């Protein structure tokens, strides 16, 4: 492995470690800000390219929610997301407690003849903190 490849690998490892630390579904810029504390000379472009690479290899998830910037998630367990329309935060929704999802797979299979492998299902709403803020603001 040459110097350049070694540096790239090191960068990718740090990016993955930083993403695994948080459950906030950060944007590339958020990840760049935390990676920069460990690798001060890294560029946003490098962070972005490495994130895309990790996502294309199935190491992380890329979240393209209806609105807002692309976000990233190192949690590969089967789950979906809910986004607050007021503050933009993104939280996890575990799917294993939603038997209706598998029922939905059956319906889709019957309707289309496909073997259903998964679905991209994103929820949106108002998060508890924003609900509280709305209440206290009258």
Q: Which residues bind Zn ion (CB under 5 A)?
A: 73, 75, 84, 86-87, 92, 127, 130
Nearest distance from C-beta of residue 72 to Zn ion, angstroms: 9
Q: Could you please report the per-residue DSSP string of 75-112?
A: --SSEEEEEETTT--EEEEESTT-HHHHHHHHHHHHHH
Given a contact cutoff of 8 angstroms between Cβ atoms, the answer to whether 24 and 63 are in contact is no
Exposure string (b/e) for 44-68, b if CB count within 10 Å is 16 or more? eebbbbbbeebbeeeebbebebeee
Nearest distance from C-beta of residue 18 to Zn ion, angstroms: 16
Nearer to Zn ion, 107 or 121 (CB): 121
Nearest distance from C-beta of residue 133 to Zn ion, angstroms: 8
Nearer to Zn ion, 41 or 57 (CB): 57
Nearest distance from C-beta of residue 83 to Zn ion, angstroms: 9
Nearer to Zn ion, 52 or 122 (CB): 122
What gap in Å lies between CA 90 and CA 83, rounded to an integer?
A: 4
Nearer to Zn ion, 22 or 84 (CB): 84
């Amino acid at each position: 492995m040459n110097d350049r490849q070694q540096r790239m690998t090191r960068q990718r490892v740090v990016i993955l470690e930083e993403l695994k630390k948080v459950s906030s579904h950060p944007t590339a810029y958020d990840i760049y800000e935390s990676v920069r504390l460990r690798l001060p000379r890294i560029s946003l472009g490098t962070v972005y390219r490495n994130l895309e690479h990790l996502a294309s290899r199935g190491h992380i998830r890329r979240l393209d929610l209806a609105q807002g910037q692309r976000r990233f998630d190192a949690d590969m367990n089967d789950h979906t997301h809910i986004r607050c329309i007021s503050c933009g935060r993104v939280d996890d929704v575990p799917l294993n407690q939603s038997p209706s999802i598998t029922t939905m797979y059956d319906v889709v299979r019957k309707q289309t003849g496909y073997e259903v492998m998964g679905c991209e299902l994103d929820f949106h709403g108002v998060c508890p903190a924003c609900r509280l803020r709305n209440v206290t603001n009258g």
